[in-house]
Amino acid sequence: MNVKCRFHHLLKTFGDWVDDQYLDADGHTRIEVITPEGVVIDGPAENNLDLFPGLQRVRFAVAQPPPSPRVLGDGEVPRRRRPRTADKHARRRALRRRNRAERESTRTNPGEEPPF
């Protein structure tokens, strides 16, 4: 599937032009356009590497499966350990502690203040 502007979509749909997609030897999607006269026009690879060459460096990690939900007994009501706001503030405090420790570990002089 590839995106077409209105003009090229109308050519394909009503003008008897045919577009074909296939994977080349590098594994990239390629497009061939065949005119009504049978002329084959080789199109660019549809992988955006021409525009964004850094996409080749992107790697995705496999996500951990979510934990299984806790099954409640009859009449049991789920309870939080603490209110949502307290959870939010505790998470922020932990992030700030972690960021502060990281900043302090990267400074050359421990007593030096940041330049900002």
Residue type, 8: H
pLDDT score of 115 more than 60: no
Over residues 16-53, the pLDDT tens digits come to 888 888 888 877 778 888 888 889 888 766 667 777 88
67 within some domain: no
Q: Name the phi and psi angles at 89, rounded to 5.
A: -70, -35
109 pLDDT band (50/70/90 cuts)?
low
22 within some domain: yes
Q: Please state, in angstroms and rounded to a whole number, the distance separating the CA atoms of residues 90 and 54.
A: 37
The pLDDT of residue 45 is: 63
11 within some domain: yes
95 within some domain: no
Is the entire prediction scored with pTM above 0.75?
Answer: no
14 within some domain: yes
Domain count, the chain: 1
For residues 105 and 45, which has the higher predicted lDDT (pLDDT)?
A: 105
Q: For residue 33, what is the enclosing H or E element?
A: strand 29-34
Nearest to 21 by CA among 31, 9, 34: 31
Q: Which domain holds residue 23?
A: 6-47
The pLDDT of residue 65 is: 86
69 within some domain: no
38 within some domain: yes
